[in-house]
Amino acid sequence: MFALVKFFHRSPVRMAELACGLLTTLLLLGSLDAQALPLFARQTGQNCLSCHAGGQFPELTPYGRMFKMTGYTIGARTVPISVMGVATYSKVADTSKSDDPAADFQKNGAPLFATGSLFLGGKVTDNIGAFAQVTYDNYAGQAVGDSGNNDGRFQGHTNADNMDFRYADHLIDDKRDFVYGLSVNNNPSVSDPWNTAPAWMQYVPVPSPTSSQFIDGNAPFASFGSGGNIAGVSAYMFWNKTIYAELGTYQTANRGLSFLSAGINDANTTKLQGSNNPYWRLAYSHEWGAHNIMVGATGMIAHIYDLGSDTSDPGNLGRVKNTGLDAQYQYLLDPHTITAQLSYMRQVQDYSPNTLLNFASPFVLADGLTPVAAANPSDTTNVFRAKLGYVYQAKYGGSVAFFNKTGTANTLNQSSGFDTNGQITSTDPLGTGIASTRVTGNLSGNPATRGFTYEAFWMPIQNIRIGAQYTAYSKFNGATDNYDGLGRNARDNNTLFLYVWGAY
Amino acid sequence: MNYKHIFLAMTLGAIGAGCSNIERSRDLANPAVPGHVLAVQVCAICHGVDGNSTSPAFPRLAGQQAAYIVNQLKNFRAQGRSDPAGSEYMWGLSHHLTDAQIDDIAAYYAKQKVVAPDVPTDPKLMAAGKDIFENGVPAQNVIACAACHGPKGQGIEAFPRIANQHADYIVKQLNVFQINQGRPGTPMEFIAHPLTGDNKDAVAAYLQDFPN
């Protein structure tokens, strides 16, 4: 299996190769098992809805959580491969307040084959199982033409996505039900069984073109500052289906562990100091009748080199501390599935000395003279998200989500501002050398972003979901109106996002 | 700490352990794993470790007649019991089970003690359900359930225990017998046929809260 991941690492798969690979895989699976489903479903022979609440992957049912906690070892060994593909369509409300709509809203209103994933995993032995996702992003970057400049064509790219390798055991007698295990994974909380965990609450794959930059998947979610594609090991236990505890630590995914960040170039790989970057999780769970509830807390401290990839200079070392709370309620009884989710994450980020040393704001105050305030050495953000969802007959579903991000204002995060003529321009016609950023710009240096996402979906068959999301912002980058200083309002970013998501 | 070593240890551990752990295996395709091991390692997650499932989505198996469990598992395995929930949840799990494993699983659940679900029931519904259970509905040609399922709803051999079963599951099965035909070839087809919605709700509520 690692050989395969390595293979991806060494030779980035091109579109044609991928299509060919997917086809072969499909034929292979098709010939092996007439009612073939994604690999875990094949392993237990069950319908997706046994493990996914109302069939809405990836949200897990109590049984799905146990399947995961016992290391993906329930069932019979089977073809360890699944494929997933996502086709999307994004449309941003206002594309006029931009200097270069073609760049700011790439592929706006165009149907895309956005991403494809290959999953390897399942039961290996009675105690060992795996979940490894390798994702092909059809729009990862732009091609460089003969002139050496971007020629506007997109280029695909394949890299390691979520990975989780486990050893688990389950001890059961009259009074005790005890699951314990070890997970080697590449994303803090990817090992978590609940879907309010940072790695799981955002689930629809996010397309790379900029027309998708405001879809729900890119709106604030409780997340860890470290990001993914790092290497971690954690030990966990679940006691009497009541208390879940997990403790782990992460390091840079390099050397023997580089397959955990395969396909991510060095500059984009998170660099952590040493292996003392602890992650913890504690949750209380209870099931009664058709209901179940979880209330939990989590956290992580990551020592991150926040300035490029140079880890030799200790001056490049910053620190991010996350502490979060989450809760989930599910009601699961055919034909109804109800899910309520809450998540909250506080993040304190201390910037590295060099980041602060190198920082000199190009902007001045409106008088065209007074320098803006010095950068704060530290920022705090709070992200809150609540979501209520309903699925009928594991076929028709909908949800409403509210998100709210608040935090400290910092000139370090300001990307629009006044030039020495007391003006805000993105084109710098007077040659002051100071240009503000449009569309993504932040005039206040404040991250506050707030809004709602409404979603409706339909699952014509259990492995296909067709969905529509509408995300409406009442605040973006710290303001309701004119957040970039160039006239763009939060609601201009409202986005309609359609997707067809299939897994096999 | 060196992750490479942990990884290596995990791999070697697996190989060292002969890759199987018969007494705590969740392997549904290994005939060497005893049925009662699968019952606690796999089936228990939905049906409860003692067969007294908490969620009404999953039928209770505690104190169920062994012969009935054997019949049902063989039915699922042969894909004969084909109501939606049966095929979605149980076909795959039973696919590779051997007759010996099925016998062992049945014996395991048959000997479990029934813990009655603690759900308050409307006394009027209880009375109506009791009447159907004990006397049938003569006007609709419905025979008393007790005639086949026993005076205490405890069942005998291929006639299942229905006392203390989840009401939601009972109603769903009565609908399967009546409408969906996913469980063909049993006397329940003609028993359930004349039942009204109210009949089903009443008898299911009574059975769930069956007085012991």
Residue of B nearest to A179 (CA): B41
Sign of the dihedral through C-alpha B75, B79, B83, B86? positive
pLDDT mean over A372-397: 96
Q: How does residue A20 score in pLDDT terms, banded at 50, 70 and 90? A: very low
Residue B147, Cβ density class (10 Å: 0-12 exposed, 13-18 middle, ≥19 buried): middle
Domains of chain A: 2-503 (2.40.160)
Asked if A172 lies within 8 A of B20 by C-beta distance, the reply is no
- Parallel/antiparallel/unpaired status of strands A378-392 and A278-288: unpaired
Residue A418 has pLDDT above 90, yes or no: yes
Neighbours of B8 (CB within 10 A): 12
CA distances from A197 to A49, A64, A72, A299, A341 (A): 20, 15, 19, 11, 10
The pLDDT of residue A144: 53
- At A184, is the pLDDT very low, low, confident or very high (cuts 50, 70, 90)? very high
Give the angle subtended at the CA of A502 by the CAs of A87 and A454, to the nearest 5°.
65
Q: What pLDDT, on a 0 to 100 scale, did the predictor assign at position A137?
A: 82
Are B56 and A256 a contacting pair at CB < 8 A?
Answer: no
Q: From B166, which residue of chain A is nearest by alpha-carbon distance?
A: A289
Q: Do B89 and A233 touch (CB under 8 A)?
A: no
Q: How far apart are CA A293 and CA A399, in angstroms?
A: 18
Please report the pLDDT score of residue A150 as a whole number: 53
pLDDT of residue B19: 56
Whole-number pLDDT of residue A21: 36
For residue B9, the chain A residue with the least C-alpha distance is: A167
Structural domain spans, chain B: 3-110, 123-208
Alpha helices in A38-175 (DSSP H): 39-44, 48-51, 62-69, 101-104
Out of A74, A167, A255, whose CB is closest to B26? A74
Name the minimum distance, in Å, from the CA of A334 to any CA of chain B.
7
**Local confidence band at A227 (pLDDT 50, 70, 90 cut-offs):** confident
Name the residue of chain B whose CA is nearest to A74's CA.
B26
> Residue A456: pLDDT band by 50, 70, 90 thresholds?
very high
Q: Which residues of A touch B27 (CB under 8 A)?
A: 73, 75-77, 123, 126
pLDDT tens digits, B56-69: 999 999 999 999 99
Type of residue at A400: V
Instruction: With CB atoms and an 8 Å threshold, state whether A172 touches B42.
Output: no
- Interface pTM (ipTM) of the complex? 0.90
pTM: 0.90
Contact check, Cβ <8 Å, B93/A46? yes
For residue A214, pLDDT over 90 is answered with yes
The CATH homologous superfamily to which domain B3-110 belongs is Cytochrome c-like domain (1.10.760.10)
pLDDT tens digits for range A309-352: 688 899 999 999 999 999 999 999 999 999 999 999 999 999 99
Candidates B84, B196, B30, B64; CA nearest to A123 is: B30
Q: Name the residue in chain B with its Cα closest to that of A333.
A: B57
Is B96 an interface residue toward A (CB < 8 Å)? Answer: yes
Q: What's the confidence (pLDDT) of residue A31?
A: 32
pLDDT at B7 over 60: no
Mutation to test the A interface, candidates B2, B10, B37, most A Cβ within 10 Å: B10
Across A211-218, average pLDDT? 93
- The mean pLDDT value for A37-46 works out to 75
**Distance from A28 to chain B by nearest Cα, in Å?**
20
Which chain B residues are Cβ-neighbours of A67 within 8 angstroms? 45
Residue B125 φ then ψ, to 5°: -65, -40
Contact A420, A431 (CB under 8 A): no
Distance, in angstroms, between A57 CA and closest chain B CA?
16
Q: In this structure, are residues A434 and A363 in contact, taking their beta carbons and an 8 Å threshold?
A: yes
* Beta carbons within 8 Å of A484's beta carbon, 6+ residues apart: A416, A436, A437, A438, A439, A440, A441, A442, A443, A477
> From the CA of B159, how many Å to the nearest CA of chain A?
26
pLDDT at A106 over 60: yes
Q: Is the pLDDT of residue A6 over 80?
A: no
Q: Which of residues 121-160 of B touch A (CB under 8 A)?
A: none
> Residue B91: pLDDT above 90?
yes
Q: Is B14 on the interface with A (CB under 8 A)?
A: yes
The residue of chain B with its CA nearest to that of A48 is: B88
Element of type H or E holding A149? none
Mark which residues 45-74 of B lie under 8 Å from A by CB.
45-46, 49, 54-57
- Beta-carbon contacts of residue A427 (< 8 Å; ≥ 6 apart): A99, A435
Cβ atoms of B39 and B109 within 8 Å: the answer is yes
- CA–CA separation, B38 vs B97, rounded Å? 10
Nearest to A195 by CA among A346, A394, A39, A341: A341
Domains B3-110 and B123-208 share a fold: yes
Residue A47 near chain B (CB below 8 Å) = yes
B19: which chain A residues are within 8 Å (Cβ-Cβ)? Answer: 125-126
Which of A:286-315 have CB within 8 Å of B? Answer: 287-290
Q: pLDDT digits over B94-119, tens only?
A: 999 999 999 999 999 999 999 988 78
Q: What is the pLDDT of residue A198?
A: 94
Burial letters B185-205, b for 16+ CB under 10 A, else e: eeebeebbeebeeebbbbbbb
Give the lowest-confidence range in A404-408, B34-38, B80-84.
B80-84
Average pLDDT, chain B: 90
Judged against a pLDDT cut of 80, whether residue A169 lies above it is answered with yes
Q: Which fold has domain B123-208?
A: Cytochrome Bc1 Complex; Chain D, domain 2 (1.10.760)
CA angle A391, A395, A400 (to 5 degrees): 35
Name the β-bridge partners of A401: A387, A453
Q: Which A-chain residues 75-114 have CB contacts (< 8 A) with chain B?
A: 75-77
For A242-257, the pLDDT digits (tens) are 999 999 999 998 877 8
Please determine, for residue B16, whether its predicted confidence score (pLDDT) is greater than 50. no
pLDDT tens by residue, A108-158: 988 888 788 888 888 888 999 988 888 888 877 765 555 444 556 777 888
Residue of chain B minimizing CA distance to A37: B92
Contact yes or no for A395/A458 (Cβ under 8 A):
yes
Cβ of A333 and B56 within 8 Å?
A: yes
Adjacent-strand bridge partners of A85: A116, A502
Q: What pLDDT shows up at residue B9?
A: 56
Mean pLDDT, rounded, of chain A: 86
